[in-house]
Amino acid sequence: MQLEENVSLRPYNTFGLDVQARYFARFTSVAELRQLLASPEAQAGPLLILGGGSNLLLTQNFGGVVLKNELKGLEIISEDADTHTALLRAGAGESWHGLVEFALDQALSGVENLSLIPGTVGAAPLQNIGAYGAELQDTFERLEALAIGTGELRVFSKEECGFGYRESVFKGPLKNQYVVTAVVLRLHRAEAQRPTNSSYGAIQETLAELGIEAEPTPRDVSQAVVHIRRSKLPDPAEIGNAGSFFKNPEVSPAKFDELKSRYPGLPGYPVPGAVKVPAGWLIEQAGFKGLRRGTGTGTHGVHDRQALVLVNHGGATGQELRELAEEIIRAVRTQFGIELHPEVNIL
């Protein structure tokens, strides 16, 4: 375990951007993490903890220390026969989809709607990942994290994490103060007879296409979600992207009604005190879907099947992608009076 110098981060971010880290190292244990944090280079800062690099836009070289989280481990740590639940503990460096597959193999349900979300387990609570009617907080029990300043381990309860829509205290008051080392989820056993969450979005339609007519199992729902995501979202191995770039904005019911009168096709989903509007629909209406920018046939742009996804066709810089994101924000603000906010972390 030692710090490497001048390392390309291209293999470690799903946009495939070729930026350099002044120092780079991996850690596979809490002890290694403590040693790296105590190094003079890390003490001098800045510091970046890297998971799967799937929710990150790097706009320039990083002049500090990048530490890649490779803490592993998937295990059932307890069972509750009365509630038919089990606690699953996962190391923060495990892939999120790997956790979902492990849960399904153990006949546990609760995270099947979150199948194929890219990234690591440790990144999941930072933004309370969610998809197809489910969020991490629905099954979250607690997490373990190491304080960067002191090296002490601390356990955070669900309430202490302050989860919101793609938010947590780790993106707000405690940003850059802790490294998540493990996450514990409370999942359901099959005998709980808990109905699957299969009514959201296109899941029902996809289940029918797959020939699943009866009450779907958690594995069936996972299969449908994987099918949907692969049909709508580009594979980062084939084209650089970070998945959904923007959060879906929420507007007041009055604002939604006003927009609906002007744009009858505007979708909306009621949430407490507001209406959630699909950012992808707004971006498409503003004329950005399939847009390509840059030299030749275009180095970067907006995906042609999902306007919520910005893509690197090859040769783009992070700054070019950031400028495109800012252009989209301005256009949506001008046309709809709605402010879009990035879901991706921009450095």
Question: What residues act catalytically?
Answer: 166, 244, 343
Backbone angles phi, psi at 69, to 5 degrees: -80, 115
Within 13 Å and on the Cβ side, how many CA atoms surround 325? 26
Closest by CA to 310, choosing from 56, 12, 96, is 56
Task: Give the contacts of 31 (CB within 8 A, at least 6 positions apart).
Answer: none
Sign of CA dihedral 118, 99, 217, 199: negative
Provide the angle, in degrees to the nearest 10, between the axes of the packed helices 96-105 and 218-232. Answer: 150
Walk across the sheet containing 292-293 and list its strands: 240-244, 309-312, 300-302, 292-293
> Rounded to an integer, what distance in angstroms lies between the CA atom of residue 34 and that of residue 30?
6
Q: Distances in Å between the alpha carbon of 66 and those of 24, 78, 110, 124?
A: 5, 34, 33, 19
* CB hemisphere CA count around 124 (13 angstroms): 37
What is the number of other CB atoms lying within 10 angstroms of the CB of residue 347? 15
Strand partners, 156: 143
